[in-house]
Structure 1
Amino acid sequence: MTHHPDSIRMNKAISDSGYCSRRKADTLIEQGRVTLNGEKVSLGDRAMPGDEIRIDGKLITENDNLVYIALNKPVGITCTTDTRVDGNVVDFIGHKERIFHVGRLDKPSEGLLLMTNDGDIVNKILRAGNDHEKEYIVKTDRPITADFIKKMGNGVWLEELETLTKKCEVEQISRLVFRIVLVQGLNRQIRRMCEYLGYEVVELKRIRIMNITLGDLPVGKWRDLTTKELQDLKDAVSGSKNVPQVDRITSTGGRRRKK
């Protein structure tokens, strides 16, 4: 029986919020008083970061100290909340609040990573189709050509994902370096696009997510978002529906179908 590495048991999710003990959480679940993303849960069900958990209709995180931070993730750190994984981003930051990453950044990549305990804003940022911009600086293993820039910008067919990447802004910076702005979040998208065109990514750094920029934040350091950054971010996603990115995961390791 396997589970998504970022999922945790429902009773632990409730106890981590400070609402009650795990034993009490099990009682509440048995009484049918707990919902996950609007659906009643059963003992053994699991929750993902960003899921909406309510007890008697009340959001259990609404009184939490909401945290919004920007991290300059180093190469070698893994974007997972599973603390059993060596080099996981949660232990790396060591924040006192239970925070989770907004989206992912490959282990071999570095740069801007947003982290928070605000599940609502996570879902809105990650929701497919919102076209939220993410900007990267990429270094390749061989000289970049005008044809490469044009093809990257027009979209690349990714055979293994059976999809054509969306058109995007691409600009050559130097002989081996280019800048790219994506509005998708496909797995290893930039690396796959480059591989299709015969290039290998040597270095990849994310420098912007929507209105949040990396700036001169040192590698391995993090900072709180400014009041203006947070307000602009919330304004940008205000029209997004709160739709979970991952279907609910059951105790059998399968996914419960949406109604």
Structure 2
Amino acid sequence: MGNRIKEEFENKKEPVRLNKYLSEAGICSRREADKLIAAGKITVDGERAEMGMRVIPGKQEIRMGKKVISKKDEMVVLAVNKPAGIVCTEDRRERDSIVRFLNYPIRVTYIGRLDKDSTGLLLMTNNGDIINKMMRAGNYHEKEYKVTVDHEITADFLEKMASGVEILDTITRPCQVEKIGTYTFRIILTQGLNRQIRRMCEALGYQVKKLKRERIMNIRLGNLKEGMYRELTDEELDTLYDMIRDSYSAPKGPGERNGGHHGE
């Protein structure tokens, strides 16, 4: 799979719309890019950019003010359906690391971990600012999971999960929980403490048998097959930019409990 991905990546030299290029470079959404272009803040090869124009990535000098937007700045955001057994780590000595498994031609890292035994949606990117804004717990961005446990789910279990469970010397943030089967429920979190769902269930006398992440904010796993990946669509990226526009990428203060990179 690695050679095919590399070939596809290196062949991305077709002309693309300038607003799309700026979006993929991690500068802003396409809508915001159009505003920058209209305001005369973008130049291509020293000339003021025009609305709707196309550029060739890596072949033309594109600037926002004095800042050169070079090919190495191109942003990559991938949606991956992580199989069980793959470890969220950048350590290439780990035989089953997500980095080795994906074998992408440029360096990307995960946005929010999934445990080795967990499956489902994992986002991978080379844009650190997006990682911080998406995963900072104080930004209250949603992550949705489908969970199967070893005992029949009761109304009491659902109520306690939703109102908050004491784990890791804290009480989890109130969340949305819905029973969808005798042993299966859906949960939407806005924080990501270490092994949060598993610890919450254990605290209430349940053991997690299966845990699958199905959504991160506006990005859904959908019918993406296990072990496969896809690039986010332009619409997904634009919506994502809108959702994180007012998010902050650093802790508000020492009291904030981040946990964002744990994911579940």
Aligned to 2:136: 127
Partner of 1:235: 242
Shift of 1:98: 0.5
Q: What is the rounded CA distance, in whole Å, between the counterparts of 1:224 and 1:244 in structure 2?
A: 29
Note the 1:160-179 alignment, pairs <5 A: 161-179=168-186
Distance 1:227 1:84 in 2: 35
**Which residue of 1 is the match for residue 89 of structure 2?**
80
Decide whether the 8 Å contact of 1:123 with 1:244 is kept in 2: no
Gap runs ≥5 in structure 1: 1-57, 246-259
1:150–1:74: structure 2 CA closer, same or farther, 3 Å change rule? same
The Cα of 1:244 is off from its aligned counterpart by 7.5
Report the number of matched residues: 187
- Matched residues in 2 for 1:242 and 1:134: separation? 18
Q: Deviations over 1:139-175 (max 9, x none)?
A: 00111111101110011011xx110001110000110
Q: Which residue of 2 aligns with 1:112?
A: 121
Q: Could you list the runs of 5+ residues in structure 2 that have no partner in the other structure? A: 1-66, 253-264
Residue identity opposite 2:206 in structure 1? Y
Q: 2:194 matched to 1:194?
A: no
Which whole-Å CA distance do the structure 2 matches of 1:222 and 1:132 have between them?
22
1:218 corresponds to which of 213, 225, 241? 225
Measured in 2, the distance between the counterparts of 1:61 and 1:146 equals: 55
Do the aligned residues in 1 keep the contact of 2:137 with 2:190 (CA within 8 Å)? no
Change (3 A) 1:163 1:62: farther
Q: TM-score if structure 1 supplies the norm length?
A: 0.69
- Please say if 1:143 is aligned against 2:131: no
TM-score (ref. length: structure 2): 0.68
Provide the aligned C-alpha RMSD in A.
Answer: 2.0
> Which has more helix, going by share of residues?
2
Cα drift, residue 189 of structure 1 = 0.3
Q: Are residues 190 and 61 of structure 1, via their aligned partners in 2, closer, same or farther at CA, if it must alter by over 3 Å?
A: farther
Aligned to 1:9: none
Distance across 2 between alignment mates of 1:140 and 1:67: 35
